[in-house]
Structures are given as C-alpha cells and as structure tokens.
Amino acid sequence: MEKIIALTDYKNRFGSKHFDVPYRSGMDKQALRVIFANWNIEIEFVQFADLINNLSHYSKDAYYIYTSSEDINYYYKSFIEDVIYYLELLDYKIISSYKYLNSEVFMELLMLGLSYKHTLSTKIFGSFEESYRIINTYLKEMNTGPLYGIFTDEIIDYCKKHKKTVNFHYYI
C-alpha cells in the first residue's frame, strides 16, 4: 500500500477550499482519507513542525504533499518554504517541488525560463527604487509616451501608499 504524508499547518489545516466547514479550515481530511483509500493509498496528516523535529520517524518511501499559507507578510509561509526546501534537499518525494511553492516573482521567472513564445512581457523588481529607475529608463528608450506613463504612475502610487519595500511583478 502506498503512503502519502500530508503536511498541515499549525491549525492542522490542509489546502484551501471555498465551501469549507468549519470556516477557513481547508479541505475535508476525512474525505481525503476515504478517496485515497479507494486508490489503495494511506494518507497521514502531520504538522510541519512535528515532521521536521522528528524527521527520523518519517520514511523517504512515502510521498509528501503539503499545504501552503497566505498569512499576512508570509511569515508562516517562509517557514513552510524552509521545511519543503530542506526535505527536497534530503531527497524526500515532494509533490509539488519547492520551486512551485515560491512567490509570484519566481512564478514569472519560471515562465521566462520556458521556451514558448511569451504574450506577456514581464519586468520584475524587488523594490520601488528599482522599478522607478528601470521603468523610466525603459520608457525613455522606447519613447512610448503617456500610455505607459499612466501605468507607471499607478505603480509609483502603490509603492508610496505602502511606504515599504515590496515584491511585485509588472506587466508592460
């Protein structure tokens, strides 16, 4: 019998679901148990911290699926990233790979690395200062006029409003 270990957060929540009961409790774990059992797969739910602090108890033969987090400022998500990256380095069978857990910035980088023809041209910045400098240079070079200028202003306003360094991607 194959085994899946599903990694849950500190609330023992796995995944996200729109009509979840209780509210914001994620997928129905009992339903997952039944569905996987029908495929002759056993599923065990383990919290990230329990797994990482008792790793010798968990086999590399199992498959590991996991939840992510959209907590404010991604503090808890950064912990999940640490754990998943670590498991991947140790050759645990992770579904999906660490690179798919990453941010929207990285999602764009992943797409840029693909060989198909891109319909969206993406610029990626780590801070307002970078976007300001690079977008202005770009606009100057392209001589694109006010159409793009309006879009640039929106970004500048956004950054000023948030008054902090933010990661974002920008479509031109």
Partner 1 sequence: MIKSIVLLTDYKGFFCSKQKTLIYKGGMDISKINQLFVDKGYEVKIMSVSAIDYGYLQQKNPYIIYTSSEDKYGFYKSYIEDIVFDMEQRGFRLIPNYVYLKAHNNKVAMELLRMRSSFEKIQSIQSSTYGCYEELLQKEQLQNFPLVIKTASGAMSRGVAKAENKKELLKIAKVLSKSFDIKHDIKEILRKIRYGNTYKKESFNRMKFITQNLITDLENDYKVLVYGDKAYVLYRGNRKNDFRASGSGKFDFVEQLPQSMLDYAYSIKEFFKVSHISLDIGFDGTNFHLIEFQFLYFGTTTLEKAPHYFLWDKHKKTWSLIKETSDLEEVYVYSIVEFIEQKL
Residue 65 interacting with partner 1 (CB under 8 A):
no
Q: Which string of x and - marks every residue 67-106 that binds partner 1 (by CB under 8 A)?
A: ----xxxxxx-xxx-xx-xx--xx--------x--xx-xx
Q: Which member of 2, 42, 44, 129 binds partner 1 (CB under 8 A)?
A: 129
Residue 163 interacting with partner 1 (CB under 8 A):
no
- Give the Cβ contact number of residue 137 at 10 Å: 10
How many whole angstroms separate alpha carbon 89 and alpha carbon 142? 43
CB 39 to partner 1: min, Å: 29
How many whole angstroms separate alpha carbon 152 and alpha carbon 148? 6
Q: Residues 129, 83: contact at Cβ < 8 Å?
A: no
Number of H helices, E strands in the chain: 6, 6
How many whole angstroms separate alpha carbon 23 and alpha carbon 58? 30
Residue 48 interacting with partner 1 (CB under 8 A):
yes
- The residues binding partner 1 (CB under 8 A) are 9-11, 13, 21-25, 47-50, 52-53, 55, 71-76, 78-80, 82-83, 85-86, 89-90, 99, 102-103, 105-106, 109-110, 113, 124-127, 129-131, 134, 164-167
